Structures are given as C-alpha cells and as structure tokens.
Structure 1
Amino acid sequence: MLFKKHSSHQLYLAILAVTLSSIQSVAFANQDWNCRQVNDQWDCSASVSATALLDKKPTANAKQPRNRPFIATKKAPTSAPASSSKKFTPVRNKVIAKAPSATAPPDHSSQASSHPITAPVIDQHLAALKKALNSTSNNHPSITSETTAKADSLSNKTDYTANQLKSSAGDKQPLILANNAQSPSYSTEVEQTDIDYKSLDWYPYTASENSQKVCKGRYISPTIGDDSAADTPPDLQAIFITADQSATEIGKSSTLTGNVDLQQGNRSLHSPLAKLDQETGAFSLEDGVTFRQTGMLIVASKAEGNINEEETRLYDAKYVIHEKHIRGDADVIIRRSKNVLDIEKGSYTFCPPGENAWKISADKINLDLVSGFGRADNARLVIFGNSVLYLPFFYFPIDDRRQSGFLYPSIKFRSGDSSIAIPYYFNIATNMDDTLTTSLFSDGNILLENEFRYLDENSLNVLSTGFASQKTTLDKRRWVLGLNHTGRYDRITTVVDYTEVSDDDYFSDFDTKLNIDEGDNDHLNQSAKIIYQADTWKSSILLQKYQTIDSTKKKPYQRLPEIRLTGTLPDNYQHYNFNHRSVFTRFDRDQTGLTGRDLTVGDRLILNPSITGEYRNSWGYIKPAVKFWHANYHLSDQPSNISSNQSVTVPILEIDSGLFFDRDMSFQGKSYTQTLEPRLYALYVPYKDQSDLPDFDTSELTFTYNSLFRDNRFSGDDRFGDAQQVSLGLTSRVISDQGREIISASVGHAFYFSDREVRIDPSDAPIKDNSSDFATSIIWRPNIRVRALFDAAFDAGTFNNSEMTLDLKYEEDQNHVIGVRHRFTRDIRKQTTLSYLWPINERWSSLGLVQYDWKTNDTVDIAAGLEYQSCCWKTRVVFRQELESNNKRDNSIALQFVLKGLGGIGKSPTTELRNKIKGYEKREYYNAND
C-alpha cells in the first residue's frame, strides 16, 4: 500500500533503520554539503545545527528551502527529558524511539494520492500511531512517555493517507522514526556549486592561500554527525533515516525513494532509491550511492547486501582517503567487515582528480584498516597510460604505522655499470626494526646491506652491516660495519660512533644505502665515550681511533684513552668563579712510513685551573682572570735529542672589559636603537720554551675578530702561545623597535709588546709584528629575505686583504634562493661559489652551482639541473662536472623520477649538493609536505 510523506510509513522506516543497524560504514550520504568560502577559508560543516533544523518553526518571511538540504536529523538523547520519569539506558544496537518534530510539513499537493485527506482519517491514524508506540513502549522501558506525548502534537500537522497501521508482532527493537524536516536556507559568503570534482570532496585553494603550491587543491572531509557522540561506540549510536516517500507491502518489501539518507555516528549513506526484502533481509541501493565516514568517501552506482550478513558490495565505485591524498576506482568494492575493504579490478593513486600521471592497477586490492596496510595482487604500475612494471603482489601502507614488507626499489645507471637495490623492511616491534637491502649489479656482483635499529627509554642504537660478493674476485671479501649508539642513564651519557670497511675503495665502489658516517672521506671514526655529569663537575672517558682509507694521507693519532675532568667550585662567591680542567691522554699511531718527530707517541697530562671575576652593570663590565696551563709528557719513539719526560707550566693573566652606549635614531620614518660597544682586552702570557713538546693535536687558529679576545692562538693542548698584547674592539648595532638586529658591525686591532716565539714547528722563526691585522665582522639583515656576512682581515700597514669570507644569501621563499660565497686566504686559497634555486614557472624550476678557483683559474665543481613537478609526480635531471684530486674531471648525468605517494626511481641527483646549494634541504622539506 502507498503512503505519503509524514504518514504512518514512518514506523516502517524505523523498522528499516533497525534492520540496517548492523551495516557499519557501508556508504556515505550524498547530500550536497555546499562547502563554501568563509573569510577566505573553506567551511564544509553545516551552519545550522540539526536540532535547530528540526525545531525551528517557519516564519512568514522564511526563504524557500534548497532542493537538496543538509542532513536534518536530531540525535537520540543520552538521557530522558526532564519531564520524563523514565531513565534512558543505551544498549547495543538499540536506540530510543523519537517521534517527528512539530515542524510544519512542506506542501505536497502536487503528489498523487489515492485517498482524500480528511480530519477523521488524520485522527484515526494518529490513534493507531499512538497505540503502536504505546505497545512498543511497554516492551521497552527505555522509551519515554514524552514519545507518545509528541504524537498528540501531530494533529493538523501531519499529512498521510492510510486505512490502518499494524505493528509487526514480535518486534524486539526500539524504533527510530523517519523525519524529513526541510533545511531552511541561510546565506553564505561564496556558494561553490560549480567546482570540478566536488563530488570527490576536491576543492581548490582560495586566493589568499599559497598560490605557489604545486597542488592547486586538496581533499576536504566534511564534518559528519555530532562531535559530542565521538566517544560513544558506533554500535550504541542511533540510526537516523530520512526519505521523501515510501511504498511498503507489509511482510514482503519496502521501497524508499527520493533523498534517502541514513546516518549513524560519523557514518552516513545517501541514495535516491532503497529497497528492502523483509523476508530474506536483502537490501539494495540504486541510482547512485554515496558512503561517508570520517576521512573516507565512496561513490558508487549501486550497493547491495543483506542485513543478516556483514558483507556489502558497491559497484562501479570511486573512493577517496582524504588525509592521505589517495583516491582510486573499482568495478566492485566489497566491505567484508567495518574495517576491511576488498577492491576488485581497482586502482590506487596519489594524483588529484582529473590527473592520472600514475596509478597502481590490480586485479584485487585489500585495505585493512586494523593493520593499516594494503595488498595488491597482479599489480601493474601504470605511468601515463602505459604499464611499465608488473608485480605479482605489492604491499603498501595506508596510514602512518610501520609495516613489514618490501620498500620501493632504487635504480642507478652509470657509465659501464648499473644496479638495482631492493630493500625489505622488518617491523619487529614498536621499538625495533630492521632493513635488509639486496643490490644486484649488471656485472653479476651482489651486495647485501642490513641496518638494525633498537630504541628504548634510555638509548638509540643502530647496527649497520654490509657484505659484497664479487663474481670476478671471489677470494676477496668486502664488507662494512657501522655502530651508532647514544644513551642517557640518569647522570651518565654514553656515545659510540664506529665505522670500519674491508678496503680503501669500498665507499667509492659501492653506493651504500646504510646511514653511516663516512667521516671526512679520508679517516673513518671509531670511538666510544662515557660521560658523567654531576652538579658542579663533569668527567668523561674517550677511546678513539681512525681507519685511514686514503693511503696518501698521514694517519692521525689514536686516543687510547682520554680522561677528562672539569668542574667549578660551588657558587659561594659573589663575583668570582673557580674552574678546573684536567685531561690525561695516551696517544698512539700506526708508524708505518713515518720518520722523525712524527714517530713520537706517549702520554700527556694537562692541568688548567683558573679564577675569573666578573663585575657587570647596565653600562659596562670588567672580567679579570688568572689561569695556569701545565703540560706533562711521558714520551717514547721521540728523536734522540729530546727527553722522554717533558713538563712546562704557563701562567696567564687577562682582563676583559667593555662599555655599553645606546641612542634612539630614525631612518625613513622608522625608529631604531643604535648601540656603541667599545671593548678593551689585555693579555699577558710569558714565553715558555715548548720546542721539545710533541704535536699530537694542535693547529694554529684562523685570524678573525673573535681571535683578538682569545687567551691562546692555538687549538689543542700541545702549545700555549706567549703574548703581551692589548686588543681594542668596537661594535655597533642597529636594532628595530621589534627587537630584530638589522646590522652588527665590528672592527678590532691588537698591539703586541713582544715577539711571539712559540711555534708549532720549532724551526719556524718568531713572529715579530708589533700589531695585528685589522679584523672586521659585519652581519647585515635588512629584511627577512636577505642575509650578508662579511669577515675579513686587512694588513695594518698596507690595508691589503689577508683573510676574507663573504657569504650572501637571498631567500624569498623555499623555491627562490640565491647564494654567493667567496673565501680568500693569502697564498693559500681564493675560491668563489655561486648557487641558486629558482622556478621558471609553477611547474618548472632550475638549479645551478659553480665553484671557481681563482688561483688555478679553473672550475672545481659545476652543476646544472632542471626539475618538473606536478601534484603527483616530479622528475629531475642534473649534469655535474667535478675536479678530482688527480686533476681529472668526473662528468655525470643523474636522473630521478619520483611518484609522490609511492616513491622514487633513481637516487636523488642533488643529495651530494645539499651542502653547497643554499636552501636546498629546506626546499625539499616544504615540497615533500606540499
């Protein structure tokens, strides 16, 4: 029999709601969400609450409702209304029955009706409805007395035609009644009704958002349901259904037509047509189905299933996972449970709607929301419509959780050689994993590399191993071993950094995938250190040696061991600090090929106590200090004319002082503060003969502005320079009202009152200059885009430049970067490096690098590259020419192709350029998160 809207068919809609309650997250409601721009931001949530939509009474001036309203449902209460004496208790799959609201019905005079609408008929069926509700209420105390009270209010407000209404015997479920309240219209700043791919929740960026983003839009997941019910288990949440009309044959079938909407918690379903076979429990949704749950959307032509089974099928479907920027399509999507989707003849891609640069197509794709992993069988990688790779099975993550399985391979091509590396990841535990990489080379060689990581509450540990089997030299085993450890146990810190290889050419022959420290490419560090930190002192023990992989280099000293103790007395003195540093080191080395003083090994003890005072106020400071440096050696293998026992003690007296002046100033209408900071530093270190001392770890520091105020012109602990000097410095800063330093400029000069006789090499003559070079340091930041650094030293007599570093950087954003660096040291080095990153247009960008040596009039390094990037893929090609140590040029062309969301083919051609091209690493980070 046929019923009209708001008639007694509502009870049958309620029955359908209960029978569909087992269908969890089958499909989303295809309502017109009408995302709109509000204050230049997208808003996809309803601006009128469900309660307001149900309870708001029409007014004379009310606007006509839209043809496709927002969801107009009212959540089942979590407790009985105040007027009810009965308490509501949620139970699994049981929801409170709710009568329709008293909202005036829309005009349905145009709809066909088989019966005239008369007041007696209305009264007759209202009584039947109340009787059915009372009958249900007797079986279910959770239904409140207000339910039947609301039915009384329907007189003269409900339009229906029916002769009678019967409640099916044995109905055990509380009922939720359908309600198709119309949504009143409301104004929006910008209605977006003509957006491409809106049906897939794809929305373009607004004008105020970053116009330089490669992706011109993003997926927006609308708000579904009531956030207040987010903590309620899905099975305990009410199901709400609305429909324009229905046709029901009691005991056989029910048909809902026109804007059929179902919602439970954060899941919703929409279809123009829904059918239910009451005898078998089979249901079908036709003429277009939309299924939503938070973060996911499925759009299909139809869906079918059975209320007695969990399996549901959606045909000719498209799906979107919003947060992961993932979409795909399928002939059939099978929902076997609320957390598992099987996709037949489907695809998977990161590309936005309308752009299909790449996708994974497979006969079967399984998405397991519990494990967070997907599997594709008989998978094909399709690039620009062409299948380029076949995989019998393929695993991929669908969330951020780690999973065991194959990672994306990398392919490398080089002159006369090529290789493919296939990594497999083992997710052993939440704090433990392992990656095994198999590399196959075109010449038949095989390289196995393994990286094991272990993390606990006190330490991070990485064990790296590699083994190479060479077809042409089976008798030569080549391997690498790396161990990195950092631990903190209360006051104790432990550090291990160990790398060892089988031969000098391992790193040059194999492009290792291990995350190990290759040192300075000449010496591999092998060290272990333990540190104890107390309140006022610290001690440490270091064991350190090196493996030298360049036979032309001199092997460094080993420290086996080095014991340090530093500390200060408790702060019981207002202006004075008492500090102490002592270091014992045993130096050893491989003496092969060494002669003379280079053969010397032995023990060294350094004692360095000091007393430092400090008097400071707002206008200046003065810091006097008295220090001692004592060195004691016990040597072996030293030249015959040098005693095995050496000892020297050097006293140090210094006074550091400064004044602070400032004034307000303005420039181009802006206010600034300018400071003037003169500084006076006096140092007295008497000469002590150190010509017989070995040189284990000492070098002379580069002369800069800061070196004017150091007490020792040497690094390390084998020399302490004699000095009778006074250094003068002057610094001026300009600071904005916001506290940003615009410019800082310093100039300094030192006067020497005696020759400086202590040298590293005893054969070198004393330094007899009466004064130092002029040292300058300027840092200029006119705005947030530009930074300039200038450090230089000028001869005091001729003002010729002796040392200079100039570093300029312009960074408009992560894609617009220009860098210039020039370094000069008289008689040693004069090099300039230019680098840039600059887009040609929104898709194309370029990079370049030139390093030129002015002393040899030759280029040291040249790189030029182009990059193309879209929303779902990018490619780079870089040409590079390097000057090697043997003065031969190494030319290479590197190509990388990256499928966003899937991985890259080929090693990044700019990995080795990151330290030379300013801003590159920052750009990579931003682009990876675009």
Structure 2
Amino acid sequence: MRYQLALACCCLPFAAWSQEGEVVVPESQCTIALPVPLMVDPNAPAVDSSTAPVNVQADTSRAIAGESAIFKGKVKLTQGNRAVTADTAEVQQLQQRVTAQGDLVFQDPQLTITADSLEADTANSQATLTNSKYWLHGQQVHGDAEQLELTPDNDIILSKGTFTTCPGEEPDWELKADKIIIDSEEEWGKIYDAQVRVFNTPVFYLPYMTVPVSDKRKTGFLFPAFSTSTKNGVDLKAPFYWNIAPNYDLTLTPQMMSARGVWLAAEGRYLHETNAGQLNLEYINNDRLDSLLKNDNRYAYAWQHTSYLESGWRLHVNYSDISDDNYFNDFDSAISASTDNQLSRFGEASYFQDNWNVAVKVQDIKVLGDAQDPFRVMPQVNYQYHLPSFYGAADFQFDTELTHFSHEDSNELKATRWHMEPTLTLPYQTPAGGLTAELKLMQTLYQQDIPTNNPNYDQLDSFVSRTLPQVRLHGQINFERETSFWSNSYRQTLEPQIQYLYVPYDDQDDIGVYDTALLQDDYDGLFRDRRFSGLDRIADANQFTLGVATRYFDSRNEELLRLSVGQIFYLADSDVTLPNQSNQIQQSSSAMAAELDMKIQDDWFFTGSLQFDTDGGNTNKSEVSVDYRPGRDKLLQLSHRYVPELAINETTGEVTDINQFGFRTTWPVAKDTYFVGNYYYDGNLSRTIETFAGIQWESCCWAVRLTYDRHLNTNYNDSGFTDIGQRDSYDTSWSLTFELKGLGSSGPLGVSDMQNEGLFNYRQPYYLRN
C-alpha cells in the first residue's frame, strides 16, 4: 500500500522543446483581463525611451518656459513605447522628471500598472509608483504593491507586494511578500519573506523562493515528494533541476527509501539544430529489500540520440540496460515501465539520395524473464535503389541486405545472410481502380556456423543458397453511388479487390531461424506477399485473396461507416513452416478477416475486428469496443479482447489465452471536477487485472487529484517469466497531488493525462477518415 502527497514546485522543471529548439508556450485557458484598453503595441520592438521626447495631451496646461509644465484633465503622456494617463501631471524639463497623480495608468509593451501616483526619471527610464496594481502582458501574472519600482533594465521591484497567476480581484491563491523582484530578462520572480495564501489564509512561509513568470527554465530545487509504502517504507524524493544552457538541462533526483536505501536518478537532455538526445542514469547501492539478488547493487541506464544532417545522413541510437529483470517492477524508472518485457538496443546510420539509400544497423534485444535471448544483428547493411519508369511504364527496384547474426551463448548459431531482391512492377492506376503486376526474384545466401554439440541443429547446413521467384497480381475497382435510408442521403463506395500470389515451394529446413515469426492475418495482412516476417522462411504460395470494403459518407463528406471483409483461398497447400510449429496450410481457405468502424449516432461509436476460421468454425482473434463520447472529457467505453493460444509454455505445456473485458470512463461529476476510472477483468482466470480510479478538481488557479490503483504485479524468477496462472500478487497505491497554477507542479495535471495512467492507456479505437 502506497500513500503519496506531492506539492507544487517553485521552479519550472521542464519546458516543452520544439524541433527548432524554441520553448513551446502552451496557450492559457483562463485569460486575465486588463482593467483598461491597451494604449501601446505589445508586439512593438524595444526602443530606448530615454532618448525619445515626452509628448503630452491634456484639457488644460500651465508652463514655465524651459523649466516645468503642469497639465490637468485627461492627461496622457507618451515617451517612446511607454504611455501614462492621469488626472494631473507635471513635467520638469531641467531635472528630466515626471510626476502624475489621480486615476493613474502606466503601460509599456510588457505590463500595465494602475496606481495613486507616479514619479519617473525619464533620462534613466526609471519610475516609482505607490499603491499600485500590475498586470504582465501575455502572462498570467498580476498583483499589487505598496510601492512598485521600474528599473532601467525593465525589472520590477515590489515592496509589500503580492504575486499570483489566478484571475479575479480576490484570487484563490497568492504570494504575499516583503519584496518581489521580477526579472524581465530571466523571466523569473525572486520572492523574499513570502507567505503562500490560499483563500486569503496563510498556509506556509518561505524565506526565499523563485517562481516562473513564463515557461522559461531555471536552475533550482523542485518541491519534494513524500510517500510511504509496504514495498519501499518511508519514501522521500527531492529533485534538483539544473538549467545548464538554453539547449542543455539535467535533473538529479535522490530518493531515500527506508526499506531499500538511497536511489539516485539523473536525466540529461540536449538539443541542437541537427541532433537531439537524452541520457538517463539510475542506481541504488545495496538494495536491502531484494535479498534474492546475488548482486544487490541495482542500476539502469539509457541513451537516445537522433541526428539529421543536411548532407543526407541520418543517425539513430537507442541503447539501454538494467541490472536485473525485475528492476522495472521495483522502481518508478523513467527508462521503461513495468509492462515492458524487453529492451531494444540499436544504432543505425543511413544515407539518402533521390533514387537510392543505404543504411548500416546493429541491434540487440534483451528479453526480460525469458531464458532464450534473440539473435543479435552485428551488423546489417541495407541498400535500396528505385528507378521509376524504368522501361515504359514499368518501375524497377533493387533491395539487398547483408546481415551477420551473433549470439551471446557460444552454443548457439551464428550466421551471415546475404539477400538480393530485384523487382519489376507494372502499375496501372485510374480514379476508377487499378491493376498492378509485380515480378520478384529472391536470392538468399547463408553461411551458418553450427555448434557441434547442439542436437537441435543437426538438420542445418553450413552453406545454403535459396532462389525463389514471386509473381503477384493485384487489382481494385472503386464503385460509388448515392443512396438514402431513414430520409437521409448518403454516398456509398464499394471497393472490391483481388490478388493472386505465386511462390514455388523450397525446402528451407536447413536454414536456422534468426529474425522470423508468423504474421497476423488482419484485413490488410491478407494482401501481403509474405506469411512470415524476416527472411529465414519464405512461404510457398499459390493463392487468391478476395476482399471488399464499403464506406458511407454523409452530406458533409464525413465518413460514418467502414466495413471490410476478406479471405485467402488456397489453390495448393503451403508446406513451409517454422521449426517445432505447425504452420503448414492444409486447408482450402484462411481465416476470414473482418473489420468494422462506425458512428452509430452523434455520440456513439463502435469498432470491431474478427478473424474467424471458416473451416474449423473457431474464432482466431476478436476485438470489440463501444464508445459513448457526448462531449469533451466525457467518455464511456466497453471493450472485449479475445486471443486463443497466444502463448504456450514449452516446459509445462500450458496454453495462455486472452479473454479480457474492459471498462473505462471519464466524466465530469461537478463543475471543474472529473472522474476517471478503468477496470479490466480476466475472463479465463476469473480475476481482476487492474482497477484504477481517479478524481480531479481543477480550476484556473489550482488542481487537486486523488487516484487509486490496484494491479497485478509482474515478477520474474531465475528460470524465466513466472507462470501467469500463479501470479496473484497485487500492488495497491494511493496518490494525492496538489498544484497551484503558476507555481509549477509535481507533474502534469489534466484529464487526458489521468486517462493514460495505469496499465492500459486509452487509445481512440476508431480512425474514420474524413
């Protein structure tokens, strides 16, 4: 059981970065209105007001030449991009000073101030205002002060002042301090001897703090988070944010857990014109709770990097590692989540030109809790060449790949594979349909290093040459008509398509399996030319695929329904299979694949997919969901997912099926108050997978969130993944988060963010095209 209380942070932890390196400022949803119309252009370029003349308009004036002038009645003074209105004003030319009183308003492109009086030094662009109220343009910042000083650097110094981003004359919260300095260049407020007041009641005192005036980042401590749980004991997290440079930052998070020890996490980010990346490091010394580990020093690290160079080069790197398979189950890591069961590590350098590209790639996948790790790609070289209109209307394409597979186990296979695939395509396309003829020649060479003491590989050959031609014909016709029902007019399309595929049989049992698996046959997958991923198995085929899709559009051309149905009809058996699996096709047809997306009514949506074995009368896979969405942040969703024989435990022979029921809702229960709930149930094992509930109250000024989460633990033992039927350990947690808008937060608070908490994130399950 975990209870957590998190307060808002005084320093902005992270600003959103665009690809160009600029800070992305989100739009405010609660605009603070100015008390008077703008007299200046807030987008006007900065000017030196000290050198500009002072212009005055007034009902009456009295002047002494060369010394001073007194103005009364609707007085308006302007100097550069600053303006002052008042009842009376005096301009002292020799001293270069201006004083004004009565119904006073001061404005420049950055702020608006109302005050009782003003005294300004026009030569130094300095001013002092008494009993003032201020509003920062373009920011949700305003307040008042007994005395407000504008410095020559355009900073604002408040004495006995207040600071808030909450709208209204009586804001829900504000900072009340002896002194507040708002730095116009750094865009941060420095606050001394401050009270944080909520509903005009002091809640705590801070001798010094900084607050963001915009989304500009600043070095500083973030508010700590405190929690207690049976897993970690007393838990205190105190993050520190270091704004190293405009394009570099680092967050250091020490976390003290009484049951485990001290856990340290660091996250560094960098961004340049041509590349960006992130580095994560996590470490705990002597984890006292996990006594099962031989080495109780636990760690995780990850590096992600992307480069785009103008010369045509691209570089991608993603590498991560952990000390043990249960690391993600025990710690709230920023690198991965407890539901991830593998780490993919790869690096790729590619070069692109108009008609060709080349790429070099290395890849290693670490599967958590699995006794058999996959093969490593060390390295792989890909080359692609495309020549449109090679001969008349025919296109030519040449793909080749050279891959070396290695394995960390010395008793496993190692191999080098060279695959070449020239393709001739003759396309014919019109708005009414199209026909494509394709001819491929697939040549693959294997050089296999076979371990002598592994009987599983006795049937393999050291050198294998495989040559397979492929013929593919694909045609589609597009019909369209106007129709009506229930007194409404619609446009209906009918889109039948047919494909013939021929690949001759070749015995491939002498080839090891390095990167190949069986693919799913959804509607789009029926028209693929491959039954297996990878290249280690190319299935023989002599088959027709028939499919038809229909769509309905209303008078606004909005798609209301899409239905697709298809099936493969085999003219001959397909005998190519994976080792120790019955992947042969010895039947007349494949499973029928059907998909339906529809808008039932204005607020009701349905989506479903089905793969049904018409020969055996069995369902291979089905997914269905019904959504009710009457408005923004209003959702009711019912879903069901069924996949038989998803996995088979080779040791026990137990078959794992998925028969999962789900319910999800997001709903306003009162003004500015929302409830989010998830519930998922395993129909096979008759138990709950996850229960999640959260309620959030949010206004323009602050937000409070309370969440409850209970889900199955994922744990691994030394022999691999713990059997799913025996996993009955649940993790239960409570979390309370509080945010004062404008002081930052311990995390994003929003209804959409709360929808993504828990094991199963919300995804809109239908993609009707307009």
2-structure distance, mates of 1:468, 1:560: 32
With 706-715 and 569-578 compared, the bigger mean Cα shift is at 569-578
Q: Aligned-pair distance for 1:555?
A: 1.9
Q: Tell me which residue corresponds to 2:306.
A: 486
Structure 1 letter corresponding to 2:104: V
Percent identity between the two aligned chains = 27
| Residue of structure 2 equivalent to 1:106 | none
- In the other structure, the counterpart of 1:542 is 361
CA separation in 1, counterparts of 2:692 and 2:389? 56
Equivalent residue number for residue 831 of structure 1: 660
Q: 2:82 aligns with which of 267, 270, 275?
A: 267
- 1:421 matched to 2:238: yes
Aligned equivalent of 2:15? none
Distance 1:521 1:765, change over 3 A: closer
Match of 1:208 in 2: none
Q: Is the contact between residue 735 and residue 743 of structure 1 (CA under 8 Å) also seen in structure 2? A: yes
1:283 and 1:600 map into 2 onto residues whose CA distance is 88
Residues 1:910 and 2:731 are matched in the alignment: no
2:701 corresponds to which letter in structure 1? C
Structure of higher CA gyration radius: 1
- The 1:763/1:881 distance shift into structure 2, 3 A limit, reads closer
Q: Indicate whether 1:615 and 2:615 are aligned.
A: no
Q: CA deviation at 1:542?
A: 0.8
Distance of 2:496 and 2:124 partners within structure 1: 85
Structure 1 match to 2:271: 455
Structure with the higher helix share, 1 or 2: 1
Cα contact 1:214–1:870 (8 A) shared by 2: no
Paired with 2:589 and 2:98, the residues of 1 have a C-alpha distance of 97
CA apart distance, 1:417: 2.9
Matched, 1:722 2:540: yes
> In structure 2, do the counterparts of structure 1 residues 412 and 692 end up closer, same or farther at CA, with 3 Å as the change threshold?
farther
Distance 1:538 1:518, change over 3 A: farther
Query: Compared with structure 1, are the counterparts of its residues 642 and 242 closer, same or farther at alpha carbon in structure 2 (3 Å cutoff)?
Result: closer
Q: CA deviation at 1:632?
A: 2.7
Q: CA 1:839–1:830 in structure 2 vs 1: closer, same or farther (change >3 Å)?
A: same
Deviations 1:279-299 (A, max 9, x none): 977765445532222352222
Task: Give 1:679's aligned residue.
Answer: 497
> What's 1:524 paired with?
343
Cα offset for 1:247?
7.0
**1:433 matches 2:249:** yes
Correspondence for 1:398 among 202, 213, 235: 213
Comparing 599-608 with 244-253, which one deviates more in the overlay?
244-253
1:839 offset after TM fit, Å? 1.0
How far apart are the structure 1 equivalents of 2:533 and 2:472? 18
Go from structure 1 to structure 2 and tell me whether the alpha carbon gap of 1:530 and 1:767 turns closer, same or farther (over 3 Å shift): same
Q: Which runs of 5+ in 2 are unaligned?
A: 1-27, 646-656, 715-726, 766-770
Q: 1:499 aligns with which of 314, 320, 332?
A: 320
Q: For residue 918 of structure 1, give the secondary structure of its aligned residue in structure 2.
A: coil
SS at the partner of 2:685? coil
2:156 is aligned with what amino acid? L
How do 1:401-800 and structure 2 match up within 5 A?
A: 401-415=216-230, 416-428=233-245, 430-442=246-258, 445-469=261-285, 477-489=297-309, 490-512=311-333, 514=334, 516=335, 521-548=340-367, 550-591=368-409, 599-635=412-448, 636-637=450-451, 639-668=457-486, 670-762=488-580, 764=582, 766-781=584-599, 786-797=604-615, 800=618
Q: Residue 854 of structure 1 is aligned with which of 669, 680, 683?
A: 683
Distance 1:282 1:363, change over 3 A: same
Q: Deviations over 1:736-776 (max 9, x none)?
A: 44443322222222222222222212463743211223221
Q: Is 2:671 aligned against 1:842?
A: yes
Aligned pairs (5 A) from 1:36-185:
none
Structure 1 counterpart SS, 2:239: strand
Judge conservation of contact 1:776–1:793 (CA < 8 Å) in 2. yes
Counterpart-to-counterpart distance in 1, 2:49 and 2:388? 62
Q: Match for 2:109 among 290, 294, 312? A: 294
Paired residue secondary structure (1:759): coil
Query: Aligned-pair RMSD on alpha carbons?
Result: 3.5
What is the CA-CA distance between 1:846 and the residue it aligns to?
0.7
Whether the 8 Å CA contact 1:410–1:906 is kept in 2: the answer is no
Equivalent in the alignment of 1:865: 694
CA deviation after TM superposition for structure 1 residue 868, in Å: 0.5
Pick which of 777-786 and 838-847 moved more. 777-786
How big is each residue's C-alpha offset from its partner over 1:604-641, in whole Å with a ceiling of 9 and x where there is no partner? Answer: 22232322222233433222222233333222225334
Counterpart of 1:830, as a letter, is N
SS at match of 2:238: strand
**Aligned letter for 1:580?**
F
Kept after mapping to 2: 8 A contact 1:256/1:275: yes
Return the alpha-carbon distance in structure 2 between the equivalents of residues 443 and 316 of structure 1: 54
Partners of 1:366 and 1:376 within 8 A in 2: yes
SS in 2 for 1:708: helix
Contact 1:377 1:392 in 2 (8 A): yes
Alpha-carbon deviation of 1:443?
Answer: 5.9
CA distance in 2, matches of 1:401, 1:830: 48
Structure 1: runs of 5 or more not aligned: 1-212, 922-930
* Partner deviation per Cα, 1:532-569 (whole Å, 9 max, x = no partner): 12222222111112345x34453222111111122223
Structure 1 residues 919, 222: CA separation in 2 closer, same or farther (over 3 Å shift)?
Answer: farther
Structure 2 distance, partners of 1:311, 1:408, is 36
Is the CA contact 2:87–2:102 (under 8 Å) kept in the aligned structure 1?
Answer: yes
User: Which amino acid in 2 is paired with 1:498?
Assistant: Y
SS in 2 for 1:904: coil
Report the CA distance shift for 1:868/1:219 in structure 2 as closer, same or farther (over 3 A). farther
Change (3 A) 1:654 1:322: same
1:846 & 1:287 partners in 2: Cα distance?
50
- Residue identity opposite 1:916 in structure 2: F
Residue type matched to 1:620 in 2? G
CA contact (8 A) 1:866 1:876 kept: yes
Residue in structure 2 matched with residue 150 of structure 1 by the alignment: none
8 Å Cα contact 2:502-2:543 kept in structure 1: yes
**Post-superposition offset of 1:470:** 5.3
Which position in structure 2 is the counterpart of 1:135? Answer: none
Contact 1:412 1:418 (C-alpha < 8 Å) held by counterparts: yes
Structure-1 separation of matches of 2:125 and 2:386: 72
Where 1:826 maps in the other structure, the secondary structure is: strand
Work out the CA distance in 1 between the residues paired with 2:759 and 2:493: 35
CA apart distance, 1:486: 0.8
- 1:899 alignment counterpart: 740
Shift of 1:334: 1.8
- 1:563 and 1:280 map into 2 onto residues whose CA distance is 78
Deviation at 1:729, TM superposition (A): 1.5
Show CA shifts across 1:152-199 (max 9, x none): xxxxxxxxxxxxxxxxxxxxxxxxxxxxxxxxxxxxxxxxxxxxxxxx
Please tell me the residue identity of whatever aligns with 1:323.
G
| CA distance, structure 2, for counterparts of residue 772 and residue 621 of structure 1 | 25
Which stretch shows the higher mean deviation, 495-504 or 559-568?
A: 495-504
Higher relative contact order (CA 8 A, sep 6+): 2
